[in-house]
Each structure stands twice: as structure tokens, then as C-alpha cells.
Amino acid sequence: MKKLNTFQKYFVEEFYDDYCEGLISRRQFIRRVAYISGGMTAAVSIMSLLGCAPSELPEPTEPIPSPEPTATPPPPDPTATSVSEPTATPAPAEPTETPAPAATEEPATSEAAEPTASQLEPVPGAQSPFSVPVGDPAVSSSRVTFPSQGDEIMAYLAGPAAEGVYPAILVCHENRGLNPHIEDVARRFAREGYVALAIDLLSREGGTAAHDRDEVPALLSGAPAERHVGDFAAGLAYLQEQPDVAGERIGMTGYCFGGGITWRCAVALQELKAAVPFYGPAPDLEQVPNIQAAVFGVYAELDERINAGKDALEQALIEAGITYQMKVYPGVNHAFHNDTGQRYVEEQATQAWQDTLAWFAEYV
């Protein structure tokens, strides 16, 4: 059976939890595990190791649904200042999720007439009072590319529409890839006076929108974590080149899978002033002394899987003398901050958002 790497194992366990809670169907669970493991036989073996009852396993003849083949869009023009969302048709949303339409190009400046409320484009499924619709006149946003490790990387850039020089935040998406929710989070930071760069870590594969929803986690976890860290290093360098960014004042945040990448970037990127990883898997504890950023770790009380590594990580932070705080939010589970998901809890998500802003205000 294929040996899973850290993030592959993390995803399989996460999907198993989702399946047990009824957040995804058996078919979706099997499909996602099969993408990660490389096939049905390996998927069944992995499910058995997770303790699935025989009655829960698929029949030997049950096929794994496959996405319709899609052509990989051409790489973005390196000379362009912004790019449009890939033209591939997004996969149908899961029954339990609000369908997310393809993202549309947003104005890069605020010179156009201020839109009316009817012209603003709400984020699909957003429940947070902090959600910022597409077209908000206080926010300037665009799709950009920058070089990283010999490739062109796509990202969503958002900042205050008013002229000025601002601190910046790197934003790492969840296992769903760069989607409208994460773009919304970037705009939320822009409303608070930051330039935010949300990177699509599947840029080399044509971008998140070019792939089936169930395939995205397999692609993300199949790539080395070092590749993702390298893309954020390039994103940090890109931000430092922007005239509206205070290059010495850059922080980072990420959610779930993105929380794990944020921890790894905190270890590797010495320029980061602060980091706020949301319920992500811990980095190699031996590398914790390399952290220069002030770290605020967000945890959910009911998230036993991630919390299992919290105490050892905290001890490593203490021994290394890192400026840090870890906060466990009561009564909530993994991914409670995502207001387009089923585990969203407004009270604790609001508190976590306010705590994040307070941390960045102090250390970025």
C-alpha cells in the first residue's frame, strides 16, 4: 500500500471525520481517498486501517466516479499584470455546500463610479458579518502572477482602495484551493488596512478552478510541502516590490491545510513578522527554533485530531523562546472560521477574527 506523506494522511483523516459526521457522503469519501491513494484498492486498505466497518466499504465492483476530462488551460502570460480566472468549468458543488460560481475579474482601482448595493456581488454561502462582497468600493483587487521556482504563480491581490503604504498579509487557502471564500478573506484584510495576497498553490496544475473538487486535496498533498513554502517565499518577495506595501511589515495566515503551511512558512521565512495558523498540523518540532515571527495559534476545542499535537508544539515554542500564544476556542470544531461551511460558528469565528487582527496590529 502506498505510504502517505504528512498532508496526505492529514487529509484522509479529515475526510474520515467529515464522513463520520455526515458532512460528506460515503461516495465522496471514497472518491477523495482514492485520488490521494492512487486507486480503489489502496483506498479500501486505507479505509480499513481507519476502522471503517465492512458494511461501509464499497462493493468490489463499485466504480470510483471520475471527473470529466478537462483541458489544462495555457500558462498565464508572464508579461501580463493580471490574469482572469481559468476558463475550465467548475465541478458541481457537493450537496451540503453552496455552489460557488466562477470568480469574476474585479476592478483593480477605485476610479469607477461607486457601485450601488445591487451591483455588489455577495460571496456564495457567506454567513460572516465581516464578509466583503465583490465590488466593494473600499477595496482594490486584481488577479496577478509572479515567478516562483521557474514557474508563473497565480494569486488574488486585495488592498485598500485609498492611496497609501500598508502592511501586508499572505493568505493560504484550505484543501479546497483558492476559492471565493478565501478571496473574501483577502478582501476582509483589505478593509482592515492590509494588502493581502492569496496564492493559488495549484497554479502549476492550471489553477484550482481547472480541477474536480474531490481531486484538489490530492493534488495539493501530492506536491512537496517545500514547493508550497517556496511559492509563499516568492509571494513575499512580490509583495515587497509593490509600491503600496511596507516591505518590512508582512505577516501570514492560513486555514486547515493552510494553517499547516503557515507553520512551515514561519519556520522557513525569516522575514515574516507574525503568523496566525488556524488549526493546522504542526511543523517539525526540531525546526521550531528557526521561527522569527510572533505566532498566534488558533485551535478548536472539539478538534481532537489537531489538538493531539498542540502540547508538544507549545513546549517546543517555550523552549525556543518564541513569542507566541495558543488559544482554544470553546464548543467548536475544525474549520469553525469558514463561514461557507457547516461547522461555522459565528460567535467564536468573530472572536478568532478579532484576535487575529489584534495580533497583526501588535506584531506586523
Q: Which of 17, 333, 21 is nearest to 32 (CA)?
A: 17
Going across the sheet that includes 166-172, the strands are 139-148, 151-160, 195-199, 166-172, 245-255, 274-278, 294-300, 324-329
What is the grid cell recorded at 318?
517555550
Q: What share of the chain is helix, strand, coil (3-state, %, to 5)?
A: 35, 15, 45
CA distances from 174 to 134, 168, 325 (A): 20, 20, 22
Q: How far apart are CA 34 and CA 42, in angstroms?
A: 7
Q: How far apart are CA 154 and CA 291, in angstroms?
A: 27
Q: What is the pLDDT of residues 272-283, one digit of tens each?
A: 999 999 999 999
Q: How far apart are CA 57 and CA 52, in angstroms?
A: 7
Q: How far apart are CA 190 and CA 197, in angstroms?
A: 10
Q: Which of 183, 196, 190, 194 is nearest to 139 (CA)?
A: 190
Q: What is the pLDDT of residues 143-187, one digit of tens each?
A: 999 999 999 999 999 999 999 999 999 999 999 999 999 999 999
Q: Which residues of the chain have pLDDT under 70?
A: 1-2, 39-118
Q: What residue ranges define each of the domains in the chain, with the CATH number in brackets? A: 6-56 (no CATH), 127-363 (3.40.50.1820)
What does 272-296 look like in DSSP terms, one character per residue? -SEEEEES-----GGGGGG--SEEE
Q: What is the reported pLDDT for 104?
A: 40
Question: pTM here?
Answer: 0.82
